Structures are given as structure tokens and as C-alpha cells.
Structure 1
């Protein structure tokens, strides 16, 4: 475990910028919203604080639709070389973080308790994986148990460390909307996923869109304005692929994400062979498949 004080070199600069943010809705709803943590407790890879970071937040009681979108955003972030930050809560948070990790991506979790306290308990495996492959952060000392009012404070740190915030699902009274308010007050890019107008968990996000927050119309939307890296492969690595693998690779590189039948049409390979090649590319960490669409991964992670 590392302890970083606010006057030390490796303390996140984005936390220092908190006190420069303009007062807004988040400060009125949650006092001390712009308070810079005097110290933070960390475990994992501090280098993840560098480069583009996207926050994904939403309902703990998410719908199947919300879970798919969150996981898809996590996988897409991995493909773009963008770190996913969230609170490791059940539902949207953990779906996005799990999706990123499964695709070889990078993840930061910010706790509303000590970093040695797993909350919720059901996420122990995810917590251990983030500790070994990503980064855990808390402003609370080890051993601190979660309290209700710690979570809004935690959300301000999630927004502060991000370059963009995506609210996937949120009821009107959802705590995830606090993250949205922080994003607005801190000058972050804010996105909301449109949802079923009869679903309680989409009422908050639909209201954000009504209030002119940018809607997520595809999994690429939140990454379009970020300084992301596209997948880049050396000719040596490409030449090490089989003939059919190279064929599929070049189509994906030139056309972007595609359905299997589109790949078959463009390459002339049979659907069965395309499926086999995609599996091989996934095993080599070159491609990822989500909801039937295949895309190249970022090899610069």
C-alpha cells in the first residue's frame, strides 16, 4: 500500500484541481465537494493515472440492457487504450470494470471505505484482480468501514480523475447523478445512455439528455473527443499471422468493427472459417468480440 500526501510529487494533479472548480449543484447537494484530499491510499499501478481516463457510473440494480452497455464500454475502452474508473459497486460499475479487464484493459477503482475493505463483499474477486492488474484508491485510512455519506464524496474523486464521464443507467434519485453533477461542475465531458422511457433506471439518464447532456448513440461516442490511441501493429507482428488471420485483420483495420457476416462477405471466407479466425485473433489478444461485433484491440497497453 502507498500513501500519497497532497504535497508529494506523485499525488494526482487532478485532485489539486478540485479546489479550482466553480461552485455548482454538486457542492450544494454535497458540502465539501471541492475539498482536495490531504492524502490518498493506493494499491496497484500509479501509472494508470496518466493518459486518458473514462468514468462509467450507474445503477446498482441495473437492467440487462444497462449491464451489456457497461460491459461494452469497458471493452471498447480497452480497445482504445483508455483506462476505466468507477466505484466497484454492483451493477453498472462492476460490469464496466469487468468488461475492461476481460479485454485486457486498465481499471481504477475508487472506494468509499478503506482500500483493504471489500464493499460489496460479493466483489472480492474483482477487487483482488484490480489490485493486481489495476489501481485501488481511497481517501479513507485502511480499516475504514463504508458509510452512506462516504459515497458521494468518493464520486467527486471518480469524476476528478476522469476526462469524460458516462452515466449508463440512473433513477431520478440515483447517487450516480451526483457523479454527473460533479462532472458538470468540474468541466468534464458528460455523456448519458438513452434508455427505455418506462424504465425507472433510465429516468435519470433520459432527463440528463433532455437537459442537453450528450447522448451515447454508439459505444464509440464517449471516445470520439478523447486523445485515444488507435490499434497499431508492426508489420513484423502482422506477418506472424496466418494467411486468413492477416486477411481478417486487414479488413478490421480498414473498416473498423464488423459483424461476422460482414467479414465473411468482405474476405470471401466461409462463416465457419471467419468464426475460427476471430477466435484465433482473440486468443492472441489482437481482436475482441462484443455482442456479435469484432474489433481490433490496442496493443500499446
Structure 2
């Protein structure tokens, strides 16, 4: 723990208690925190998933969190290994705000290797726990804190989840709380996507594009020009080619950019996920 950070306490009857959390059926009577408590009352989206992330899941968690944070939303997660940690880092990398809800006492760093991330969140964001200092994490405390993660959020995004992933508990709590649940589709032969694909089958919103979060929740997006300026060199080349053509095909992009079909399709998938382009009837357009 960063000893220079003061542990604060806020009780349910305080006007500083997070507004969204008041609305759930079983809110904590008391919250311990380090950092900026006001972040817990701002518009937020939680981004969670398995402790073992695939390269696809890691990329998606970081990109989703960057986009959310860049648009002024607070990213909430549980600081666990894998998707949670990547989500916090994505928000911080975008210069945004993030809240880590702990499943142990506010003074305990778990997992221990996340000490640097924990200290950074304590300085730039918010560490939050319903457990007083000294309480170790357990098989009970970690699932229990998931209701706080979803309770602070307008919506919860499940990036990856195995059959018994704790993030599925977060999705259940979000549904019980009347909050929107998004799930990232994945390969049907991937262990990492069994849980998310099942969530979609059960009614979760399939996150085909990151912009879906903003559209479904009715939230403003980051300006398109700012989004384009943050792209990589190859991504910007493709965007320029689409802009010049107005509406283009994969074949025409291959000829213009001197790239193979699979290379163009891979870049287009990333740009669609980032909300920069979209495709319809075999043609590619710049997104609004």
C-alpha cells in the first residue's frame, strides 16, 4: 500500500455516498476508500472479465476502457489479474479516471504483483472497499464485492469469461440491479468466450462495436477527429483511403494500399471496433 494515502470512510447516510450505489437492494452500510471519492458518483461503466486473458480479450479490454475514459466516463473494475487490470491500465493510459473495487481490506494489495497499479489508482483514481483494513480476501468477499462493481455503473461489459468466471456473477448482479449488460462475442471454440457467448444467448447485448455502449446508453462519444488522430500509422493510411474514396470495397483498399486481403480485413475489424469506420452491403464508410 502507498502509506502516504489517507484511508477515508463514507457511510450510507452521508451525502457523499455514491448515488448509483444507493439504488441497489443491498448497498454496503460503509465504504472505505483511498483517492477521489467523487469518481464513484460520476457516470461509469464497468469492464470486467477472466483472470487469464487471451490476446483478443486483452486488446478489447484496453481499447474499450481507453474509449470510455477518453469520452469522460469512469471505468470501474476489480483490480484482479487479467481483464480487470488491463481495463484499469487502459483508462489510466487515456488520461481518464478509474475505480478499483477490492474484495479485501482497503489496506491490502491483492494480487500482490499489482502494487504499482494499486498505488497509481490511489493517486489518480479511487480504491474502494466495503471491508475495513486488515480483512483478507476470501471465496466469499470477492463474489460479494461484484455487486458494488455493477452497482456503481450504468452498464457492465463482460470482455471474456470462462464457465465459472467471477465476472458472470457481476453480470448477474447487474441484471438484478436493472443495469445494462454487454458481452463481447468470441470464437465458439475458445474457452475464454464460453461465458460471454452464453450471456449473449441469454439476452446480453452483443458488443459488436465499442460505439454500441454509447449508442445504447445514450452517452456522448469522443469527437471523431480526436479518435482518428490517436490511430496507428497503418490505421491512419486506411482511414485516409476510405475518406478519399467516400465508399470503398476491400478489393479497392487492397489495390490502393498494396496490402493483402487478410491484412485489410484485420485492420478494418480493429477500426470498426474503435468506431472509426463501418461496413454495409460490402462497402466501407467513415462512421459519423
Q: Same fold (TM over 0.5)?
A: yes
1:235 match:
none
Whether 1:9 aligns to 2:9 is no
Q: CA, structure 1 residues 50+225, in 2 after alignment: closer, same or farther (shift >3 Å)?
A: farther
1:286 match:
none
Q: Tell me the distance in 1 between the aligned counterparts of 2:146 and 2:237.
A: 42
Count, aligned residues:
241
Contact map agreement 2:158 2:184 (CA 8 A) in 1: yes
Q: CA, structure 1 residues 114+65, in 2 after alignment: closer, same or farther (shift >3 Å)?
A: same
Which of 183, 193, 205 in structure 2 is aligned with 1:214? 205
Q: Tell me the distance in 2 between the aligned counterparts of 1:231 and 1:170.
A: 28
Greater CA deviation, 216-225 or 124-133? 216-225
User: Residues 1-301 of structure 1: matches in 2 within 5 Å?
Assistant: 1-19=7-25, 35-231=26-222, 249=225, 252=228, 259-265=235-241, 266=243
Contact map agreement 1:251 1:263 (CA 8 A) in 2: no
Question: Please, which runs of 5 or more residues in structure 1 have no aligned partner?
Answer: 20-34, 233-247, 268-290, 297-301
Shift of 1:64: 0.9
TM-score (norm 1): 0.74
Shift of 1:16: 2.2
Question: Please, which runs of 5 or more residues in structure 2 have no aligned partner?
Answer: 1-6, 245-269, 277-288
Give the SS at the match of 1:259.
helix
CA RMSD after TM alignment: 2.6
Contact map agreement 1:78 1:103 (CA 8 A) in 2: yes
Q: Tell me the distance in 2 between the aligned counterparts of 1:40 and 1:177.
A: 24
